[in-house]
């Protein structure tokens, strides 16, 4: 990317988990203008139906486009699984980057002597057609332990990643992976890297955790190569309709220099069409 280019990239998640993806984007593209929307008031997505997740994803996409985003990163596994196809159909002129559990690289790197591959994810992600197809393509004949984690995202959003209730839930979900002898664990939700050390403690220090955030950032960089530079300087801006203090704590833990959090509207902004996009960008 041209050193002087500063594309504007919008990132959204159901809450603070997508900050792990935002951090990967910031490391790879420090001159980019990054906009982050945390939909914490409507979290968790992982226990909602497809229509709910699609509607919230539309709201967040419209908001980020109205702020000047030229490319949208869906930093939520559940929203990618249930909504990204609809977003691409509604805004064919916009580039979208999604995230999905790193099942393919986990299985590709697995040796015969290794234990099973564990997958921690939301119920909606594991039940989605997108995930089932991914597993069918790459998991045939391989030992895979799927573990849904209901309530874990909600606990992170409500109490924080290090709260006793959050860690108690996590240990319960990790127990089947430890008992199965998993040597690789796929983090199938962007909130879960916030619990990386606790997951290692619960499954075993030797376990390898797979987080696709860096791969998402690399794909976003490739798609941003020919985007025009924005007039605004490189910056990190964040909006939330949840607790700003939690977002700031997690941002600091991710080494993100976010100094303040703006209020994210809960309602539906005016629809953004191709003509509007030309004016915004």
Active-site positions?
76, 189
Q: How far is CA 12 from the centre of its chain?
A: 8
Sign, CA dihedral 84-125-38-11, equals negative
Q: What is the Cα–Cα distance from 94 to 89, expressed in whole angstroms?
A: 10
Q: Which residue has 């990054």 as its token pair?
A: 34
Q: What is the Cα–Cα distance from 144 to 136, expressed in whole angstroms?
A: 11
What is the CB-side half-sphere exposure of residue 44 using CA atoms within 13 A? Answer: 23
Q: Which residues pair with 11 in a beta bridge?
A: 36, 73
Q: What is the Cα–Cα distance from 187 to 18, expressed in whole angstroms?
A: 13
DSSP assignments along 133-170, one per residue: HHHHHH-TTS-EEEEE-TTHHHHHHHH-TTSHHHHHHH
SS3 content of the chain, % helix, strand, coil (to 5): 45, 15, 35
Paired tokens of 7? 């594309």
On the 0-12 / 13-18 / 19+ scale of CB atoms within 10 A, 39 is buried
């Amino acid at each position: 990317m041209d050193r002087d280019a500063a594309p504007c990239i919008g990132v959204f998640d159901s809450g603070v988990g997508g900050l792990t993806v935002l951090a990967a984007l910031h490391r790879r593209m420090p001159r980019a203008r990054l906009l982050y929307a945390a939909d914490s008031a409507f979290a968790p997505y992982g226990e909602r139906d497809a229509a709910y997740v699609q509607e919230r994803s539309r709201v967040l996409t419209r908001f980020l486009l109205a702020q000047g985003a030229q490319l949208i990163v869906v930093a939520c596994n559940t929203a990618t699984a249930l909504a990204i196809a609809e977003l691409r159909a509604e805004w064919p002129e916009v580039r979208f980057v999604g995230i999905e559990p790193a099942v393919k690289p986990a299985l590709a790197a697995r040796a015969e002597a290794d234990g099973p591959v564990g997958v921690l994810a939301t119920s909606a992600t594991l039940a989605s057609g997108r995930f089932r197809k991914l597993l069918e393509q790459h998991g045939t004949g391989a030992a895979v332990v799927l573990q849904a984690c209901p309530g874990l995202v909600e606990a992170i959003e409500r109490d924080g990643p290090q709260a006793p209730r959050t860690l108690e839930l996590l240990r319960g979900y990790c127990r089947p992976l430890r008992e199965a002898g998993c040597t690789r664990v796929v983090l199938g939700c962007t909130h879960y890297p916030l619990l990386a050390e606790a997951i290692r403690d619960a499954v075993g220090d030797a376990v390898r955790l797979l987080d696709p955030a860096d791969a998402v950032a690399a794909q976003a960089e490739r798609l941003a190569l020919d985007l025009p530079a924005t007039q605004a300087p490189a910056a990190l801006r964040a909006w939330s309709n949840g607790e700003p203090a939690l977002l700031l704590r997690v941002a600091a833990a991710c080494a993100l220099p976010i100094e303040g959090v703006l209020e994210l509207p809960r309602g539906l902004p005016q629809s953004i069409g191709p003509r509007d996009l030309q004016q915004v960008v």
